[in-house]
Amino acid sequence: MSALRWGHGASGLRRALWPAGRPGPLAEEGALSGVWGRRRSSSASPCEQDRRKDWGHAELLEVLEARVRQLQAESVSEVTVKRVGMARQLPASGGLQPPGKAQTGPEDAATAVSGRWAQKLDKEKFAMEKRKQRLEVKLQVRAQQLACEHRLRVVPRLLDAQLASCLQHWEHGAPRSHWEEQLAQLLQEAPRKLSHEAGQAPQAEGASVRRESQQQSLLAFFECCLLTGHLPLAHHVLVTFHSRSRQQRRLTLAMYNTVMLGWARKGSFKELVYVFFMVKDAGLAPDLLSYAAALQCMGRLDQDTNTIQRCLDQMAQDGLKLQGLFTSMPLCQEEQAMVLRAVHKAQPAFSLPPRPRPPPQVNTSPLLREIYAKQSGPVSYPKLHLPLRKLQSLFQQQLDVEMATTVAVESVEKARVLTKEVLQARNTLKQLRAEWVQALSLGLQELKASEARAARAGRCTIFPYLCVLTEEELAELLLQTLQVLPPQGESLLSLAQQLGLRVFNRHTVHRKQLSSQVRALQQRYHSYLHLLASDTPVETPHLPRQYWEALGAPEAPHEQPWPLPVLVQLGKKLAELLVGAVRMPGSVAAPQGPRTLIPVLYHVYSFRSFRQIGILKPHPAFTELLATAAERTLTFEAAEVPMLCPPLPWTSPHAGAFLLSPTKLMRSLEGTVQHQRLLDGCPPAELHGALDALTQLGNCAWRVNGRVLDLVLELFVAKGCPRLGVPAPPSEAPRPPEGRLPPGASPTHKARVRRELARCLKVAREMHSLRSDALYRLSLAEHLRHRVFWLPHNMDFRGRTYPCPPHFNHLGSDLARALLEFAQGRPLGPRGLDWLKIHLVNLTGLKKHEPLQARLVFADEVMEDILDSADRPMTGRKWWMEVDEPWQALACCMEIARAVRAPDPAAYVSHFPVHQDGSCNGLQHYAALGRDSVGAASVNLLPSDLPQDVYSGVAAQEFVWEASHYLVRQVFNSLQEMFSGTRAIQHWLTESARLIAHTGSAVEWVTPLGIPIIQPYHQDSKVLISGGIQSLTFSQSGDTSQKPNTLKQKNGFPPNFIHSLDSSHMMLTALHCYRKGLTFVSVHDCFWTHAADVEVMNQVCREQFVRLHSQPILHDLSRFLVKRFCSGTRSPKHSKNVWIGKLQDTLKSVPKTGAFDLEQVKHSTYFFS
């Protein structure tokens, strides 16, 4: 028996034999009292509790039997020996003392005790055997009951008496042809009944939200059952729900259709008719998908013409078009063929309608007219610097990465000397992981069996979701999660959500692998690369999205995400399994032999942000083992790592970015569906501007700045350098006070010690978080050091863009940005070196208020320091360390040094990105909206010889530090006076949002580029997932069916609206720079390009800002909001309509604008600089 398995028995025996009423030994840190005690056993079903007791008693009985045999053997041998000894040492009188009077020494006493133990154990053994027999009988009876109860139901119990009688007649002895007749009658009668949903009284808002959440989970359960081959189970649960009137209200036509489609694919006509009976009993009218299922099934079974014709006639009477079965239904090619076969039998002349050509999609935004006009001047879309064959090779490498779903990256932590201790720790981890995989696989089998039993009882469980991956795949996923768990632990809710999402993502990738999508993707992508490769000219220039769409049919239907409650419930069960199954010896350094096993994870409660939350923490022994082993491999999800080939162009809200890994176009909290609904309902052409801008940002090729990386790693593997943004290792964390408090310590002293301990723990947590973040970033940088890579982009609900890979991108800190440079270089040209120098001075922060020429002069003055920094960054004068952005400044120093030392600086090929920042960009948009001349001058919309600082216009120098709160108030009062137009617009936006929220709606608008926006601020709806080691309660606050949060809606509207404008400006700049052949990326209002192209980018940036604000943005917003929230008839007596009236008056009172001339922005040097 392995030490792991023996430990289970030993620990169980120790707990079982601990005397009642006596406290157990003090649990060392990590003891899972909350997991292994009353909480866990109370969550088990009675059957499971009985089985656990039975196993525990059987195990105890075996131990007791062994102890009895041992004691009996010892007793016999001891008595024999002692008797012999006593016979040899008889008293001189030769007389024997009576047994009751004999003198007993210590050995004789031990013999008597052993005898009593033997008698006592005999009695306990007899009692245990009797109890075991009773338990066996009880379990057999219960198993028989479960077998009867959990037999899968096929025939539904109908609530309508007439229908139930009809079904019973057809069920008993009816020939097959009568079933066909019954289906025809059902199709004729079903539309006459009203939906049960229409006749229900309106529900309270909370109940409505809960019901919608339950329906989403139930539909996902049926769909997952079909995907995993458990159609009879789905039918059984559908029948069970339908048979209970309260549960039947949760069922929707989509659920019935899902099960019907499953039976249709199998050609199971009788079961399909059962579902149609339930549809009619529920008062629902079959839709086009219902008829598609019926016809598909009849096509597979070659049904008679009369039944098929009656079905088609009923479709026509219901107003459903036959062509719709082939143009608007989510059926695969084989399913369509079966439907067509049935139709041809009744209507031989029917021919498939030609595939409808999508109507010409024209983006209606006047801002994008030039982008999409066929004759709009010369276009020079950029090519990549790599040839076709290289790009095809990179595609295959990326495809392999995503099919593997994870990426192994070598850590940059300082490698430990391979001592005996390190090797032993690594070997121990290897052995433990092998045992953990087995334990987790067995646990998963038990969990599946338990969830299957619950599903057979008619409940919607996580059973089908556990079947989307193999036990080995799930076990590996759980161990990867365990590996990266921080020492301070992670919230159970967060961990559960992450686990559920990872299972879904891997399931999605596996589904694509099993279908023909991968092969089709490979062929299409290889053709697409002709547009991007350096050695494959194309006749007509196209945007990447346009070229991709012209290559073939639309993408396959996307995988519907699982509802958030399902993700959390699945992840919670997996996390609890991880807690229960993964154990390790309490001391890995102990000699070989019997050892007590401890759980690797334990569950505790902690306060975070004044709330008590459940946390899973790794045991300190496991953390120590990991630290000792110092393994060199980090594992990332494929979607967490930059891509090795250009991303897929965004073509819809569901298609783009990674090759296989699912990615959202609009990032949002899991479970939020309102953004996706808006995007799905938006005409495709209206999203083209956003889709093409995101594609262009993702097509920028990157490489690692190796010289900067070497210097950072040098500091990182030493003791870090927090001053330069290189986090220190945990060994540098402050140590908490050592020793115990003296017995007479005063309360003040105790409180001081507690505060110091809390401070040390807080600092240690923060240091670990920062160190881990830097470790991931630097390890990925080292992994990609000699490679070209790409960063696919998506956007938030306001339209602001972000790279999808979270750990290594250009949106990070100064250090993160310094590690990146463009993979494609450009000669500096006549002005490129000057822009490098200006950029360096901007990074120092030393000449913010000086003109560009003065910054150039300053750069020349400190050229000696610049070159010294480039040549001797760690040993020279270290000028670069004293500036605002030290690492980017150092990288720029190195680039300038290479350029000035080149034979011809203008011909030097530079890969360095130069930035141009907006000057208080939010206030710039406000000033442009209000045509505010004073505000415009303060934020550099007006041409000037010197850059203007909005805060320098506030005379605050006379205020002393002690009155800083007064200073702040005066600054903002002065800002409001300077930006009077801004204040009026803010007030109008805030008041409009407040009134919209009072009408019961969330604020919506459409950006100037056509992106639909909705604010995700709603009253929280609590979702409870009970049972297990902890009940989880989480909020769902992102759905339109929930009441809006008025405070967040009104406070969020002004900044969010401005952010939607700055994202529109950035996207316009990106698209027009792409037309001119520039490399362009952005960090919100900071635009990047090559040094040689800064002047062109600056021109485009200013032109597009003027074009954007030349539109009647506020009036367009007013018209949209009036149409969206104030249309329709109203009754003055209804309270909601009073708010609508006020809202309409407010929306029509658009703030008046000033006299500022927008054209002056084109000539402002410091607008972006």
Contact, 342 vs 272, CB < 8 A? Answer: no
The span from the CA of 259 to the CA of 227, in Å, is: 11
Neighbours of 512 (CB within 10 A): 20
CA distances from 1050 to 379, 1004, 1006, 1155 (A): 43, 12, 17, 28
Q: Locate 131 and state its tokens.
A: 């109890």
What type of residue sits at position 201?
A: A
Distances (CA, A) of 116 to 71, 99, 778: 10, 17, 69
Helix axes 829-844, 1094-1109, angle to 10 degrees: 70
* pLDDT surpasses 50 at 1: no
Average per-residue pLDDT for the chain:
82
User: Do strands 611-618 and 601-608 pair parallel, antiparallel, or not at all (unpaired)?
Assistant: antiparallel
Q: Around 437, how many Cα atoms within 13 Å sit in the side-chain half-sphere?
A: 11
Q: Which of 64-68, 95-99, 787-791 has the lowest mean pLDDT?
A: 95-99
Kindly state the greatest CA–CA separation across the chain.
135
**Nearest Cα to 1048, choosing from 1010, 1007, 996?**
996
* CA dist., res. 492 & res. 1028, Å (int): 12
Are residues 1020 and 669 in contact, defined by beta-carbon separation less than 8 angstroms? Answer: no
Please report how many Cα atoms fall inside a 13 Å half-sphere around the Cα of residue 578, on the Cβ side. 30
Sorted by sequence, the CB contacts under 8 Å of residue 231 that are 6+ apart come out as 225, 259, 262, 263, 266
C-alpha triplet 690, 694, 698: angle, nearest 5°: 170
Give Cβ neighbours of residue 1087 (< 8 Å, ≥ 6 apart): 915, 916, 1066, 1069, 1080, 1081, 1097, 1101, 1168
pLDDT at 360: 64
**pLDDT value for 1128:** 67
Buried b (16+ CB within 10 A) or exposed e, 34-44: bbbeebbeebe
Partnered with residue 604 across adjacent β-strands are 615
Pairing of strands 913-917, 1086-1090: antiparallel
CA dihedral sign, ordered 278, 280, 283, 289: positive
Cβ-contact 833, 896 below 8 angstroms: yes
- Looking at residues 151-166, what average pLDDT do you find? 82
Q: Which two tokens stand for residue 372?
A: 């999409």
Mean pLDDT for 268-282 is: 89
Q: How far is CA 208 from the centre of its chain?
A: 26
- Look up residue 218 and give its amino acid: L
Across 123-132, 175-184, 719-728, least confident range:
175-184
In angstroms, the Cα distances linking 1082 to 113, 367, 800, 1085, 1087 are: 84, 20, 10, 7, 4
In this model, does residue 56 exceed pLDDT 60? no
Residues 890, 894: Cα–Cα separation, whole Å: 6
Task: List the structure tokens of 409.
Answer: 């990256």
Quote the CA–CA distance of 404 and 476 in Å, as a whole number.
12
Other CB atoms closer than 10 Å to residue 497's CB: what's the count? Answer: 22
Confidence of residue 1160 (pLDDT cuts 50, 70, 90): very high
Who has greater pLDDT, 733 or 119? 733
Is pLDDT of 297 > 60?
A: yes
Report the alpha-carbon distance of residue 1113 to residue 877 in Å, rounded.
Answer: 53
Q: Over range 1084-1102, report the average pLDDT.
A: 95
Report the alpha-carbon distance of residue 947 to residue 955 in Å, rounded. Answer: 17
Average pLDDT over residues 1072-1082: 94
Helix spans in 228-322 (H): 231-242, 245-248, 253-266, 269-281, 288-301, 305-317
Q: 700 or 85, which is more confident?
A: 700
Reference 1015, options 1027, 1030, 1025, 1005; nearest CA is 1005
Q: Is 1031 helix (H, G, I), strand (E, B) or coil?
A: coil
Whole-angstrom distance, CA of residue 147 vs CA of residue 572: 28
1010 near 367, Cβ under 8 Å?
no
The pLDDT of residue 103 = 43
- Residue 1085's contacts (CB-CB under 8 Å, 6 or more residues apart) are 917, 918, 921, 1062, 1066
Here the tokens at position 705 are 């700045």
Better-predicted residue by pLDDT, 960 or 540: 540
**Closest by CA position to 596, among listed 1104, 27, 1130, 201:** 27
Per-residue tokens: 430: 């290897």
> pLDDT band for position 990 (50/70/90)?
very high
294-298, 649-653, 672-676, 999-1003, range with the lowest pLDDT: 672-676
Task: Specify whether the CB–CB gap between 603 and 580 falls below 8 A.
Answer: no
Environment class of 750 (CB within 10 Å of its CB; exposed 0-12, middle 13-18, buried 19+): exposed
548, pLDDT greater than 60: yes
Nearest alpha carbon to residue 1072 among 370, 385, 539: 370
Burial class of residue 973, CB neighbours in 10 A (0-12, 13-18, 19+): exposed
Worst-scoring range by mean pLDDT, 390-399, 555-564, 1024-1033? 555-564
Strand 648-652 to 655-657 pairing: antiparallel
Quickly state the pLDDT bin for 1083 (edges 50, 70, 90): very high
Which of 142-156, 178-192, 1012-1026 tops mean pLDDT? 1012-1026
DSSP helix/strand/coil, 134: helix
Could you say which DSSP state residue 377 is in? S
Q: Does residue 169 or residue 988 have the better pLDDT?
A: 988
Query: CA separation (Å) from 507 to 236, 479, 501, 510?
Result: 24, 18, 10, 5
What does R_g of the chain's alpha carbons equal in angstroms?
Answer: 37
Angle at 878 between CA 877 and CA 880, to 5 degrees: 135
Per the CB < 8 A criterion, the answer to whether 927 and 1096 are in contact is no
Q: Alpha carbon of 762 to those of 599, 682, 766: distances in Å?
A: 25, 47, 6
Q: What is the pTM of this model?
A: 0.82
Least confident of 47-56, 419-428, 483-492, 876-885: 47-56
What integer pLDDT is reported at residue 517 of this predicted model?
85
More confident residue, 966 or 607: 607
Which DSSP helix (H) or strand (E) runs through 607?
A: strand 601-608
* Backbone angles phi and psi of 779, in degrees to 5: -65, -40
Residue 462: the pLDDT is: 94
Fill in the DSSP letter of residue 792: -
1086 three-state secondary structure: strand
Q: How far apart are CA 852 and CA 599, in angstroms?
A: 64
Bridging pattern class, strands 789-790 and 793-795: unpaired
Residue 425 has pLDDT above 60, yes or no: yes
| Angle at the Cα of 147 from the Cα atoms of 146 and 153, rounded to 5 degrees | 100
The pLDDT value given to residue 127: 77
- Could you give the angle at which helices 288-301 and 305-317 cross, rounded to 10 degrees? 170
Q: How far apart are CA 1064 and CA 929, in angstroms?
A: 14
Which residues are registered as beta bridge partners of 585?
597
Under a CB-based contact definition with an 8 Å cutoff, are residues 472 and 437 in contact?
Answer: yes
Give the Cα-Cα-Cα angle 1004, 1007, 1011 (nearest 5 degrees).
85
For the stretch 577-600, pLDDT in tens is 999 999 988 776 554 555 688 899
Q: Return the pLDDT at 723.
A: 92
C-alpha separations of 804 from 176, 642, 656, 811, 1015 in Å: 56, 8, 11, 11, 22
pLDDT in tens, 1126-1155: 886 555 555 677 888 888 889 899 999 988
The answer to whether residue 760 scores a pLDDT higher than 80 is yes
